[in-house]
Amino acid sequence: MAKEKTVFFCTDCGNEVLRWQGQCPACGAWNTIVEKPAAAKSKAPKSASGRRDSGIGVPRARRISDVETTAELRFETGMSELDRVLGGGAVKGSLVLVGGAPGIGKSTLMLQICDNLCRFANVLYVSGEESERQIKLRAERLRVRGEGLYLLAETNLENILEATEELKPDILIVDSIQTLYNGDLTTSPGSVGQVKDCTLALMNLAKGMGITVFVIGHVNKEGSIAGPKVLEHMVDCVLYFEGEQHTTYRILRAAKNRFGATNEIGVFEMADTGLAEVPNPSEMLLEGRPTDTPGTCVTCAMEGVRPILAEVQALLTPSSFNMPRRMVSGVDFNRTMLLLAVLEKRGGLLVNSCDAYVNVVGGLALDEPAVDLAIVIALASSFRDKPVPGDLAAIGEVGLTGELRSVNNLNQRLSEIHRLGFTKCIVPARCGKAIVPDGLQLIKVRNIREALAAIV
């Protein structure tokens, strides 16, 4: 009897429990208990190819050379920054998850691309958060004409699937996955079980009917529970929309992409009439840069195939604690600690007793070693209270002995630095044969001591 009622199980160890609970009593894991539909209602899961596993006949493995392929069909969304992040446009029959904090602009972005999409395709926009009237008002404000745009304010998964099967749209947009629910489950919308179940159903829809599905997912404060994180492994693409609440710039980043590279970023600006693309992020990021203040240095990072200039700022102040404070934003914390140690030991600056703060302007996250030198120079400039020349940029990876190591894509970085009006660039001495643009002077240094000597 008790067995029949059991509809909850642990995704880690498979242990079945009678009701939902935070921790699995068997394996001790947290947040792994999910609900499964009662046996009578459970359907045979569809495989990724859209075929229902009927249980009749044995599934046969196929030789890879016997599998027919057609080139993946891509279409442009009309926003080149979004297309870039998707790897050159959206793929037909794929499921794209767009995650981000509430209010960052996910619904705005999705509604805006409808303007272009519905010129050549039928788009169904399902919203569980806003009424059809609200969406229409927003669409008018965003100047989305939308001949082939259909709206549906619905949260019941069954109804959404039915509406989709009837309309047969080419593109389905779901805003947001946390509001959807499957009536077969007893948990509330937004719980891990519901979110996973609804995503799986949408995935089957995408693969089965060849519909491109965009799913919006809110990242909550903790960033994990029932947010896009628990869905990352199920979907084809995961995009994160990031930005600071108080700035108007938004960065779209691919965390996973089954059809392209993941290191591309798209840059947008939120304006009165919606999101505007920023085709020239370097200019935007350097806007209003102080040129005669100590503690800032410009570097060039590669975001995918695109070089982007970024300003690294540092502030060193004498510490009034035994343990100096260290705060880092936009670069790796441990990497910065390492650079502070190298600066003390190999650069000869007594920075260990200082509070250190490092920040990358514009909310950019730099994870490349090529920005090491700019961090070191910004720190040294703040320590000595001497500004770095405003027309100077720095590129290079710093080793533990204080030596500078070469970086990749140097020519592209130099041409971007030159394009934005810089006249000097510090680079590692061993950087191979660089193509130096006219009017850009290369300062080749072997270690950080030489680099620090070059900036004063």
Contact set with ligand TYD (CB under 6 A): 100, 102-108, 138, 141-142, 270, 272-274
Question: How far apart are CB 282 and ligand TYD at their closest, in Å?
Answer: 24
By a kind-dependent CB cut-off of 5 to 8 A, residue 108 interacts, out of ligand TYD, Mg ion, none, with: ligand TYD
Omega of the bond prior to 381 within 30 degrees of 0, cis? no
DSSP per residue, 204-261? HHHHHH--EEEEEEE--TTS-TTSGGGGTTTSSEEEEEE--TTSSEEEEEEEEETTS-
Question: How far apart are CB 154 and Mg ion at their closest, in Å?
Answer: 15
Question: How far apart are CB 272 and ligand TYD at their closest, in Å?
Answer: 6
Q: What is the Cα–Cα distance from 344 to 342, expressed in whole angstroms?
A: 5
254 CB-side CA count, 13 A:
27
* Size of the residue set binding Mg ion (CB under 5 A): 1
Residues 380/452, Cβ–Cβ less than 8 Å: yes
Which residue matches tokens 């903790």? 222
By a kind-dependent CB cut-off of 5 to 8 A, residue 272 interacts, out of Mg ion, ligand TYD, none, with: ligand TYD
Say which amino acid occupies 202: L
Q: What is the Cα–Cα distance from 89 to 81, expressed in whole angstroms?
A: 10
By CB under 5 A, residue 107 contacts Mg ion: yes
Q: What is the Cα–Cα distance from 114 to 173, expressed in whole angstroms?
A: 9
Question: How far apart are CB 142 and Mg ion at their closest, in Å?
Answer: 13
Question: How far apart are CB 207 and Mg ion at their closest, in Å?
Answer: 26
Q: Among residues 106 and 196, whose Cβ is nearest to ligand TYD?
A: 106
- How many Å separate Cα 375 from the centre of its chain? 23
Chain residue whose CB lies nearest Mg ion: 107
Q: What is the Cα–Cα distance from 448 to 454, expressed in whole angstroms?
A: 10
Q: Among residues 162 and 244, whose Cβ is nearest to ligand TYD?
A: 244
Q: Among residues 140 and 165, whose Cβ is nearest to ligand TYD?
A: 140
Segment lying near Mg ion (by CB under 5 A), choices 87-95, 104-112, 285-293, 427-435: 104-112
- Please report, as residue ranges, which positions from 72 to 101 form the binding site for Mg ion (by CB under 5 A): none
Question: How far apart are CB 232 and ligand TYD at their closest, in Å?
Answer: 18
Burial label for 418, CB within 10 Å (0-12, 13-18, 19+), is middle
Whole-angstrom Cα Rg for the chain:
26
Joined tokens for residue 261 = 């590279």
Q: Among residues 12 and 269, whose Cβ is nearest to ligand TYD?
A: 269
Q: Draw the binding track, 283-322, toward Mg ion (x: CB under 5 A; -: no contact).
A: ----------------------------------------
Q: Among residues 142 and 161, whose Cβ is nearest to ligand TYD?
A: 142
By a kind-dependent CB cut-off of 5 to 8 A, residue 166 interacts, out of Mg ion, ligand TYD, none, with: none
Question: How far apart are CB 250 and ligand TYD at their closest, in Å?
Answer: 9
Which residue matches tokens 């079945």? 16
Which residue matches tokens 């939902």? 20
By a kind-dependent CB cut-off of 5 to 8 A, residue 326 interacts, out of ligand TYD, Mg ion, none, with: none
By a kind-dependent CB cut-off of 5 to 8 A, residue 212 interacts, out of Mg ion, ligand TYD, none, with: none
Question: How far apart are CB 58 and ligand TYD at their closest, in Å?
Answer: 46
Strand partners, 306: 303
Which residues in this chain contact Mg ion in the complex, by CB under 5 A? 107
